[in-house]
Amino acid sequence: MSISLSILEYKEIIEAIKKHANVDISQHSMAAMRTNLAEIISELRISSTSDFVQAIIDHKRVRDLIIANIYNEHINLFRDPAMWKILKTDLIDTMLKTGNIKIWLPEVSKGSDFYTLLIFLKINNLQDKVRIVISDESQQNLDLCKTGFIDNNLLINSEMNIKRLDSHLVLNNYLETKDKKTYLKAELMKGFIALKGNLLSTTLPFVANIILFRNKMIYYNHVKEQKVINHFYQNLTNGGYLIVGVKEDLTLFDIDKKFKLYNQEEQIYKRHFS
């Protein structure tokens, strides 16, 4: 645990980020963001809030670092393997009967679910049947995802996860090492486009069949969560699926007119027909 930001210091920092980086995180979860920002301050070896604010004003590098780490998720590949099984057997297999499938991964961040999806498509021989859009406010994140670079932190427990999906699978079969860094194999890096921009103003080249947005809502407050759910409703086909994290229970809020709970255990929601 790094330094501890007071609420006033936190507010001062998010004001600076809004003003100088043009990114509004005022509707993000304060507890998580406060920890997150404190970690960035610690990494930069900055000792005071005022110095951090000055660094935000002075250095694009600092602004880019903050935007790239807004979610600061550390999620292993194939987290919650049961969801991936359902994705194949219940969702994709059914949808393929009516045509190819379009999947949107907003706020792709470090790419954990994106890479998992690409491996998953390869395993199931679905690469040519699925189109993917990844999007993020951070160009840095998108650029990294386009290379297939996998942070070693994401690999912890990932081998165990993929084995729980299918005991015959070996994660290393889908990875390669270059200059001591781990990447997804180049042959897997296809069938997607990357869009930079604010989540709520992203314009997709298609209406999605599936939106994969796991463990991102946890970083929003209720107001932003509602806005995001509305945006997803607009960008999903009738009967399309929104998949969130297993501890992101959207039924706590008023979503009945837009989505119904399809799978409680894995928090999969089905869009109502309009």
Partner 1 sequence: MINRQITYIVIGGSAGSFRVITKLLPMIPKDFPLPIILCLHRLKHIRSGFIEALLIKSNLPIIEPSDKMHIHGGNIYLAPANYHMNIELGNHFALSTYDNVNHSRPSIDLTFDSAAKVFKGRMVGILLSGANKDGARGMKSIHQNGGYTIVQKLDECQARTMPEAAIKITKIDQIMTVDQIIQYILKLGNNES
157: contact with partner 1 by CB under 8 A: yes
Residue 161 is a binding residue for partner 1 (CB under 8 A): yes
Q: Does 75 interact with partner 1 (rule: CB under 8 A)?
A: yes
SS (H, E, C) the chain: CCCCCCHHHHHHHHHHHHHHHCCCCCCECHHHHHHHHHHHHHHCCCCCHHHHHHHHHHCHHHHHHHHHCCCCCCCCCCCCHHHHHHHHHHHHHHHHHHCCEEEEECCCCCCHHHHHHHHHHHHCCCHHHEEEEEEECCHHHHHHHHHCEECHHHHCCHHHHHHHHCCCCCHHHHEEEECCEEEECHHHCCCEEEEECCHHHCCCCCCEEEEECCCCHHHECHHHHHHHHHHHHHHEEEEEEEECCCCCCHHHCCCCCCEEEEECCCCEEEECCC
252: exposed, middle or buried (Cβ count in 10 Å: 0-12, 13-18, 19+): exposed
Q: Does 141 bind partner 1 (CB under 8 A)?
A: no
Dist. CA 205–CA 193, nearest whole Å? 10
67-75, 134-142, 171-179, 183-191 -> range binding partner 1 (CB under 8 A): 67-75
Is residue 113 a contact residue for partner 1 (CB under 8 A)? no
When asked if residue 72 is in the footprint of partner 1 (CB under 8 A), the reply is yes
Question: Does the footprint of partner 1 cover residue 136 (CB under 8 A)?
Answer: no
Is residue 8 a contact point for partner 1 (CB under 8 A)? Answer: no
**Distance of closest approach, residue 52 Cβ to partner 1, in angstroms:** 19
Least separation in angstroms between CB 250 and partner 1: 9
Q: Is 116 in the site for partner 1 (CB under 8 A)?
A: no
Cβ nearer to partner 1, comparing 32 with 96: 32
Can residue 80 be called a binding residue for partner 1 (CB under 8 A)? yes
Amino acid residing at 182: T
Q: Which of residues 181-200 bind partner 1 (CB under 8 A)?
A: none
Verify binding: residue 125, partner 1, rule CB under 8 A.
no
| Site pattern 206..235 for partner 1 (x: CB under 8 A) | ---------x-xxx--x--x----------
The single residue among 246, 263, 270, 272 that binds partner 1, judged by CB under 8 A, is 246
Q: Tell me if 27 contacts partner 1 by CB under 8 A.
A: no
Pairing of strands 181-184, 149-150: antiparallel
Nearer to partner 1, 4 or 201 (CB): 4
Binding of residue 11 to partner 1 (CB under 8 A): no
Interface residues with partner 1 (CB under 8 A) are 1, 4, 7, 29-32, 35-36, 39, 72-75, 79-80, 153, 157, 160-161, 164, 215, 217-219, 222, 225, 245-249, 252
